[in-house]
Chain A
């Protein structure tokens, strides 16, 4: 009997969703791809600087192992090592694939791929298409998916919203409940598996570098349905963004990769035109404090330094919380070719030409390292078993996650240009897992009782009916802004437990007030308000995961900075001392001759890792996130203190 073709439902049309769709079609599956808007408009288009792969095009001695080390170290050792290693080793093949499908990557004189530098590494490892790399990758992958659509293998459900997974009595995901955003009809689709490639949750903070659709609602719904959520408190604050009313627009790390320098006037309150301030009166604080990495320290480090300069030292430009990002020493032609896209954005939104005047920038919420907990299988040699149905599976069988929506590639801090890589890597690698999962099932979705689907559907029909009947006094959009304010106040660059407790209290207050929301539009055609109210309730739940995870984690790791628990690394410390310390300990040798204070620091570091080098796991219990901790696979690289100077 010929085997029935698999039917896979992909939620989200960004890089992860498109990669998964392309690969699954190639494996002869039928794909339904669901998106709020046309796939071309997904948030991945906002990625600017590039995508990492250790191709070593400049003969600097770069290798995938070094990429792996930089990624693990950049993430403060909180990522699962076998997976990250696999990703870094696949990266060159991914870049070549992207090149083959027509991405307009910048080229060398010989016509091969050009690479530039990015944060957290000393190698030129980042392939790029001007400064709109994410957009270019989305388009090329979208074109490949369109090709399969042309051949009848892809059904695009654009202008549709995912509401929840459909889970049968055995706990297996059998499909999804969707809403048509034009007719506002709610219906179910059946499938062999559902992939959530739904991106990050920046809208929980309201103003961030994220797009409007990045509410995290799909991942949160999975959590509410019983899926585990991992490392929620690890939110990346990008050091360089352009302030705005509706959005904090990203100014790519590639601006620094191409030579951009961050500075403030040495004298606080120096209001001179920046071009008139001589070199000697400028404080290039990243270059001075981190001579080795300079302006290209990882994002968590750069954001903390800017925070320190602006708030603790009050040295922000004109007393405002802003610093200069300066490219004016580069030629205009060079800048237009390499960074044109983002410099145009700056000019359009500020009216100032960054080729002539230094940009004024400030850190902004950018990326969630955390997300839905996902599984993986390593074989006996420590490599990833690519055929295992466990790869990228959430804790609900049949429900998969990929891209920013998952949690395990970036640890406590993501390196620039690694997000495009992890999105595409997960999208591609999970295809075998998904197919094998459905092959192994005893019963296919076609044999599942129709009441399972009807019930899920009717639950959502009544939920939306209830939402439409909400007739209180709170405007949902205003309440959302207040949620953002609460999160900005407590769960940003610098965290402390008192403020986090206040944030949690504010979230509770918002949760109570949510019951008094008014559905400000009750019409039945293309009505976005009930959807938004549902998303808002998800964002409230997600903010609890972030805030509670942050409150309970009493340490300083990557993007999670609690000064109270800073182990204060000695200035002249060398991370290899720590490796030496561990070896001596294991050999029962004497622990002496370390510079003053170093032994105490290393002992504290080791103790802290025993307690905290673990993934945070949130599970939905009694209307609250219940937090527990899981071990991480650190079998390849010994966790050690980070250092970038």
Chain B
């Protein structure tokens, strides 16, 4: 039986946004089906380091614990992913946990991802409707278009693609794959398409689609297998056409 086994977690910690970071290790008893979340919960129950020092429990974000909310994204053994689906038995020991590096650290493994949501506002990632009163059925949409939209719409704004992207950094304005993919999602909807131009204009300026270096790592780290590089290529085409249109119309 492997009940005596323990799991070592080495965590990069930081007490506040401007504080220095430091590392601490914790030994946690092995349990069947354990994941990073259950190990962090074990630290909450016994916040003592491997050296026997009593410390503050590790702070991290999480909510649904089944990879649909996008909250618990962190860097685990050098790879950005959700902590809930990171099963201990599938990880190399010791396990290293770090906060994402492309967003400002708040505390320990918590970061501030507001930039993602600000970008959604910039590109008007919504379907403009006249009102919520009953106006009857929505537009007819083929199931193929629905399937295409559904895949894009599974984006949890988790930040994995942005963390992995060499173009996206703490101090630039690059919007990144997640945002471009949302532009594509809304341009695919019959009502959403009425604002296609505004959305395209929003990704044609600074930090927009032309800044993409085509490294293609975004698509590799996406936990939802969203075809991000396809989205980038598609929005690239759409903006090129828009630019040509602009020459003749403006």
Contact = CB atoms under 8 A, between A and B. Distances in A.
A, B assembled together: yes
Interface of A: 22-23, 26, 36-38, 40-43, 45-46, 93, 96-97, 99-102, 104-114, 129-130, 132, 135-136, 139-140, 143-144, 146-147, 149-150, 158, 182, 211-213, 243-247, 249-250, 337, 341, 345, 348-349, 351, 428, 475, 477-478, 481, 520-521, 523, 525-529
Given A243-B33, A246-B65, 8 more contacts: A45-B64, A97-B132, A100-B191, A102-B189, A104-B153, A146-B126, A245-B38, A246-B37
Interface of B: 15-16, 31-35, 37-38, 41, 44-47, 56-57, 59, 61-71, 84-85, 87, 90, 106-107, 110, 113-114, 117, 120-121, 124-129, 131-132, 134-143, 146-147, 149-150, 153-154, 156-157, 186, 189, 191-192
A100 B63 CA distance: 29
A110 B139 CA distance: 11
B192 A102 contact: yes
A345 B136 contact: no
Contacts of B113: 38
A-B pairs with lowest CB-CB distance, top 3: A99-B138, A143-B126, A245-B38
A107 B142 contact: yes
A212 B110 CA distance: 16
Given A111-B141, A211-B64, A212-B65, A428 B132 contact: yes
Contacts of B127: 100-102, 140, 143
A477 B45 CA distance: 5
B147 to A, nearest CB: 7
A525 B150 contact: no
Contact of B65 (A113, A139, A249): A249
Nearest to A476: B44
B193 to A, nearest CB: 11
Contact of A112 (B64, B120, B140, B156): B140
Point out which of A41, A135, A136, A140 has the most chain B C-beta atoms below 10 A from its C-beta. A41
Contacts of A140: 127
B37 to A, nearest CB: 5
A249 B135 CA distance: 37
B21 to A, nearest CB: 14
A17 to B, nearest CB: 15
A96 B134 contact: yes
Contact of B84 (A22, A130, A246): A246
A520 B56 contact: yes
Given A104-B150, A107-B142, A146-B126, A246 B38 contact: yes
A144 B135 CA distance: 17
B14 to A, nearest CB: 10
A271 B243 CA distance: 66
B64 A528 contact: no
Given A109-B143, A477-B44, A521-B56, A245 B33 contact: yes
A297 B79 CA distance: 43
Contacts of A37: 61, 63, 69, 71
12 contacts: A38-B113, A38-B117, A41-B69, A46-B69, A99-B137, A100-B139, A104-B150, A104-B153, A107-B146, A112-B140, A143-B125, A211-B64
